[in-house]
Structure 1
């Protein structure tokens, strides 16, 4: 433990020192190179003013290029090559993807995730945000519901593995789900091996995690509704249900859409939960896990793995653009 802490502290110190040295050094060089003295002093001042912001932006742009832009083009290049990334084969990998049963099964599972998880997480988050403000212990409830956001997907999967645990037909069950089933006279099952329902149970984990995120954002949006509007509706005899559906939801609908699309992007990239719970077995495979299998397992196939990665990126881009536009539009109306 101590060596790891020392390494972490050393990394922080070196990183901060490097940042300070970079910004101080580049500004010093700029000031010396374009001096404000002499007949060209005014022109040099204007040049320094234009160049200085780029000195601050350069590290971010550099690392963004190395870790985001370059991988996109390299992945696209690999998707047009064979398993070793050496021989150009055109769109053969994409033709394979559209005809492969495993890819079609993964696409179906992804669509199922896209329908269930964002809808339930957003709905539960909205309901909790509305109800918690009416309770004296509402802040405690919000804290408890938000806590899963602090847990990694793998950590959450380990927790839910105990919930879905199955110890055999004649053994005492320690899994909560099987214990409940048994209490109602049902037969315990290895739920993770039951097609379709195993995918639904995996989605429950992500809903459990993302509900806290939806709750926090929507709770902030609800506080922005003018209290005079709600009081006027109550004085006119509107019930709480009518106020919720006819006033609250329309008022915060742009925020609801932003939350929904943000969770949708998370769902498109879901990987950890499926890998930790089922490893993609029993028809639970999703595109991210299939990409991992083709890219890194069985000797690796860079072409097909990259093709699946491009398909995921193509699916994410329209939602991301729409999300950004909605956020900008919401900011512009305030």
Structure 2
């Protein structure tokens, strides 16, 4: 109960601070640029100045936090990547030279590429198919709610759920893992799925696909509903079947939205960390870049320089995709 009370107190305090800031900043702005007791010309000038300053008062805290927690860490990471394990001695590009000659880094890079090839494509495809199918049935909203539900679960929580799905017990013991129970029911042999090199990466990918399919479904469903009915009706009158309508009428009209969903999931995949940490901790050839960075930065490696170098590599990989995504989203908003 103490934790509950303290959480409620912090929430109430945060709201109170926000209200005080916005009310107080407006009051202070009114004193600096008064709209009463001055000439009409001065009043108009003060109103213009206040209107130009007010948005920055509201944006100020957000920009300050973004600078503190996003911009500053970027420069600090680049700085640390050029220094030794303690961040004291300048070593130039030595950390990057080590990185590209390290076997674990190459394994992590290969696994990240696998994730990039599979997860965005599978999530977008399943989301698109489900969105198209559920829009055609009366209970579609119920189905969408169930499919979207995993989005409400944290990656760690989802990983724990899937640990029970993949759970393996020694021969002779009852298999409590759902997958192994099904395999044995059909006469197969139980396997330790997450320890099978190469294939275990795909078993981990299933978790992220399970989570992100709901996100893709919601966005693409909204895009499908925005397609004019006249185009579909015209295709039907011309003799097009359901498959032809789906691939030749619907998909071309929402291709921009599909690209945005694809790249959004791609950015997430480039930073995948929680699932690997909870399921295997990078063992059995499942290591990825973010987990490797965490190991070198905060765990056994204890090398800030090498950890920061991996972080910079991840950032460099994310930036082009993010920029392209933003441009596509902007183009979608403008209707191009």
Q: State the TM-score bracket (shorter-chain normalisation).
A: over 0.9
Q: 1:130 aligned to 2:132?
A: yes
Match of 2:323 in 1: 321
- Post-superposition Cα deviations, 1:209-255, rounded to whole Å, max 9, x if no partner, equal 10001111111111011111111111111110111110011011111
Match of 2:247 in 1: 245
Match of 1:41 in 2: 42
Match of 1:58 in 2: 60
* Number of aligned positions between the proteins: 333
Q: Is the Cα contact below 8 Å between 1:93 and 1:304 reproduced in 2?
A: yes
Structure 1 residue 72, shift from structure 2 partner: 0.8
- Post-superposition Cα deviations, 1:282-304, rounded to whole Å, max 9, x if no partner, equal 00000000000000012611101
| TM-score normalized with structure 1 length | 0.96
Query: How many Å separate the matches in 2 of 1:104 and 1:90?
Result: 21
Query: How many Å separate the matches in 1 of 2:10 and 2:233?
Result: 55
Compare 178-187 and 299-308 and name the one that shifted more: 178-187
Matches within 5 A, 1:246-261: 246-261=248-263
Match of 2:216 in 1: 214
Query: How many Å separate the matches in 2 of 1:165 and 1:18?
Result: 47
Compare 171-180 and 275-284 and name the one that shifted more: 171-180
Structure 1 residue 126, shift from structure 2 partner: 0.6
Q: 1:182 aligned to 2:181?
A: no
Match of 1:5 in 2: 4
Q: Is the Cα contact below 8 Å between 2:123 and 2:213 reproduced in 1?
A: yes
Q: Is the Cα contact below 8 Å between 1:75 and 1:310 reproduced in 2?
A: yes
Q: Is the Cα contact below 8 Å between 2:295 and 2:301 reproduced in 1?
A: no
User: Secondary structure, in 3 states, of the residue corresponding to 1:282?
Assistant: coil
Q: 1:77 aligned to 2:82?
A: no
Query: How many Å separate the matches in 1 of 2:293 and 2:249?
Result: 44
Relative to structure 1, is the Cα distance of residues 90 and 193 closer, same or farther in structure 2, using a 3 angstrom cutoff? same
Unpaired segments ≥5 residues, structure 2: none
Q: Is the Cα contact below 8 Å between 1:261 and 1:319 reproduced in 2?
A: yes
Match of 1:32 in 2: 31
Query: How many Å separate the matches in 2 of 1:72 and 1:60?
Result: 17
Match of 2:225 in 1: 223
Compare 176-185 and 120-129 and name the one that shifted more: 176-185
Unpaired segments ≥5 residues, structure 1: none
Q: 1:292 aligned to 2:304?
A: no
Query: How many Å separate the matches in 2 of 1:21 and 1:214?
Result: 39
Match of 2:69 in 1: 67
Structure 1 stretches of 4+ with a deviation exceeding 3 A read 34-40, 42-46
Match of 1:18 in 2: 17
Q: 2:172 aligns with which of 155, 167, 170?
A: 170
- Post-superposition Cα deviations, 1:101-141, rounded to whole Å, max 9, x if no partner, equal 10000000000000000000100011111111222221111
Structure 1 residue 38, shift from structure 2 partner: 4.6
| TM-score normalized with structure 2 length | 0.95
Q: Is the Cα contact below 8 Å between 1:169 and 1:189 reproduced in 2?
A: no
Q: 1:305 aligned to 2:304?
A: no
Taking only aligned residues, the RMSD between alpha carbons, in angstroms, comes to: 1.5
Structure 1 residue 50, shift from structure 2 partner: 2.2
Compare 287-296 and 127-136 and name the one that shifted more: 127-136
Match of 1:195 in 2: 197
